[in-house]
């Protein structure tokens, strides 16, 4: 194993759902520890292993491999009830988690009032709603930044937890009743039940930074599993249509307490086309029947919410932006097989705004919503690539398509996914990350 592939970040290059779960699962056999660094149960990472489907939300995907330790880092927000349910479902499906899952004692807790706050906020926004996953993610990060969050370490002292929780509720009620009539957050009868469930996490709580750095000193290999995607990042994404955490590779450092120079490489996952769930600008979106056909062929429905995903073509300016933000070492292209039947495949290669070519990805979403996209249309290969595992078996036109994406973005492609099942993937022998391919 080379130094750069010892500790690796897997990050989504688009608006999420790029197939990170599939990719992280494929890589996990080569790693000792898989750590989530941001987000929460808004993620839905799908793995199909031996015909069995798993959708991981908060638990790191590596947990499906029996010798891998899963870690939830301090940058993640945790809903104890959702985590308990997810663990029960995994055990019921035959995955023995036991003590292989550790949780940061600095992770912030999602409380019931965060979810009610989110529902109310989305209602108030009306047509301008973000289209969140309604898991309470945004309001929990709001309270974290406002320094009124409750953290996993607070569970160890129930009296202090109760006191802090009541203080927060009183503050929220004061603010709410100053603005509106009534006390929407009133009542604290649920706290006892919450605490009882949440305290089941105590045996799993650790100082994640200390744990990871010590294990790395011992030569253990760590995979940092990104959730959401670059364009949903709070700082760099299509704000305000973003999630509330640092989904880019930088989050892997702040969200775990592992210094950036200890991380060897960053792999960016992208579909061979683009999708987005929820509201917000989407320059290469395909409207009408063609978009619907791609949605049907790609089964593009949200893993968490079941919402139909908006579909579009591969977006080179966005991918270049992601390559820079994450300083990508390589890309992984998923769902190539979904394009198998197309006569021709447009690729968005340039944005134009008010008659001028844009040289960088705009900060202003009003501009992004109005850009004119220039396309290059490549011929389709019209042959099945589903399940292929050998690059030489790919039709020449599929190879040309992949080469075009790689040249345009300026990043090599290390792996191509050709189906949802574990093992349906092509590793490029010439990639310096080929040593990450599993032994299967
Ligand atoms: P994630 O959130 O990035 O892990 O992605 P999701 O799991 O939300 O969505 C990706 C979907 O595509 C899932 O249903 C996967 O099973 C499926 N998938 C992943 N890779 C491939 C692939 O190469 N081909 C096909 N046909 N499906 C894939
Ligand atoms: P994975 O990890 C796709 C989207 C929501 C919404 C916006 C904000 O499976 O790729 P939030 O609930 O996070 O406040 O919602 O972000 N979103 C995702 N879209 N995949 C995800 O996760 C997402 N997590 C959040 O649809 O537009
Ligand atoms: Mg997903």
Domains (ranges, CATH) in the chain? 3-72+207-437 (3.90.170.10), 108-205 (1.10.300.10)
Residues 162-180 have pLDDT tens digits of 999 999 999 888 887 777 6
Q: What is the mean pLDDT of residues 182-191?
A: 74
Contact of 82 with 139, CB cutoff 8 Å: no
Annotated catalytic, 17? yes
3-class DSSP state of 59: coil
Best mutation site among 18, 22, 50, 64 for ligand 1 pocket (most ligand atoms within 8 Å of CB) = 22
Q: Decide: 18 in ligand 1 pocket, CB within 6 A.
A: yes
Q: Which of 337, 283, 332, 334 has the alpha carbon at shortest distance from 310?
A: 283
Q: Residue 440: what pLDDT?
A: 42
Q: Say whether pLDDT at 186 is over 70.
A: no
Q: Say whether pLDDT at 1 is over 70.
A: no
Per the rule left: phi > 0, alpha: psi between -120 and 50, beta: everything else, 313 is beta
- Report CA(132)–ligand 2 centroid distance (Å): 7
Task: Report the distance separating Cα 440 and Cα 431, nearest Å.
Answer: 18
Q: Say whether pLDDT at 37 is over 70.
A: yes
Q: How many residues does the chain have?
A: 440
Q: Residue 321: what pLDDT?
A: 98
Q: What is the mean pLDDT of residues 30-55?
A: 96
Best mutation site among 13, 38, 230, 232 for ligand 2 pocket (most ligand atoms within 8 Å of CB) = 232
Please state, in angstroms and as integers, the Cα–Cα distance from residue 32 to each residue in 336, 359, 421, following that order: 29, 41, 22
- Ligand number nearest to the C-alpha of 110: 2
Averaged confidence pLDDT in the chain: 95
Q: Residue 144: what pLDDT?
A: 98
Q: Decide: 21 in ligand 1 pocket, CB within 6 A.
A: yes
- pLDDT confidence of 304, banded at 50, 70, 90? confident
Q: What is the dihedral of CA 334, 338, 344, 349, to 10 degrees?
A: -30
Task: Report the distance separating Cα 145 and Cα 245, nearest Å.
Answer: 11
Residues 381-427 have pLDDT tens digits of 999 999 999 999 999 999 999 999 999 999 999 999 999 999 999 99
Q: Say whether pLDDT at 337 is over 60.
A: yes
Number of helices (H), then strands (E), in the chain? 12, 20
Q: Residue 22: what pLDDT?
A: 97
Q: Decide: 12 in ligand 1 pocket, CB within 6 A.
A: yes
């Amino acid at each position: 194993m080379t130094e750069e592939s010892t500790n690796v970040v897997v990050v989504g290059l688009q608006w999420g759902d790029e197939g990170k779960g599939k990719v992280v699962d494929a890589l996990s056999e080569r790693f000792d520890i898989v750590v989530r660094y941001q987000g929460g149960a808004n993620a839905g990472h799908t793995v199909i292993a031996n015909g069995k489907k798993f959708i991981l939300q908060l638990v790191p995907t590596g947990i499906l491999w029996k010798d891998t330790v899963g870690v939830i880092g301090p940058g993640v927000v945790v809903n104890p009830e959702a985590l308990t349910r997810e663990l029960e479902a995994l055990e019921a499906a035959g995955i023995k988690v036991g003590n292989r899952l550790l949780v940061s004692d600095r992770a912030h807790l999602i409380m019931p009032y965060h979810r009610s706050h989110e529902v109310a906020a989305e209602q108030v926004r009306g047509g301008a709603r973000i289209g969140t996953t309604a898991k309470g993610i945004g309001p929990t990060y709001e309270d974290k930044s406002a320094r009124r969050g409750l953290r996993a370490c607070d569970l160890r002292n129930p009296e202090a937890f109760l006191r802090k929780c009541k203080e927060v509720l009183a503050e929220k009620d004061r603010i709410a009743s100053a603005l509106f009539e009534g006390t929407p957050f009133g009542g604290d009868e649920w706290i006892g039940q919450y605490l009882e469930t949440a305290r089941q996490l105590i045996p799993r709580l650790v100082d994640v930074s200390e744990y990871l750095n010590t294990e790395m000193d011992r030569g253990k290999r760590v995979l940092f599993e990104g959730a959401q995607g670059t364009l949903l990042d709070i700082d760099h994404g299509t704000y305000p249509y973003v999630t509330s955490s640092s989904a880019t590779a930088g989050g892997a450092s702040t969200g775990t307490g592992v210094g950036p120079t200890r991380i060897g490489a960053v792999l960016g996952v992208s579909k061979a086309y683009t999708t987005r769930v929820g509201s917000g600008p989407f320059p290469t979106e395909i409207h009408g029947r063609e978009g619907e056909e791609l949605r049907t062929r790609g089964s593009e429905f949200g893993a968490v919410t079941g919402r139909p995903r908006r579909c579009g073509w591969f977006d080179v300016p966005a991918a270049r932006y992601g390559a820079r933000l994450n300083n990508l070492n390589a890309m992984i292209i998923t769902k190539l097989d979904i394009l198998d039947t197309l006569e021709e495949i447009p690729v968005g290669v340039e944005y134009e705004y008010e008659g001028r070519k844009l040289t960088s990805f705009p900060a202003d979403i009003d501009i992004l919503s109005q850009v004119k996209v220039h396309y290059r249309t490549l011929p389709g290969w019209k042959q099945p690539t589903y399940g292929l595992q050998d690059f030489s078996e790919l039709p020449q036109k599929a190879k040309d398509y992949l080469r075009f994406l790689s040249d345009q973005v300026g990043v090599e492609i290390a792996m191509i996914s050709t189906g949802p099942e574990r093992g349906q993937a092509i590793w490029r022998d010439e990639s310096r990350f080929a040593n990450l391919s599993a032994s299967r």
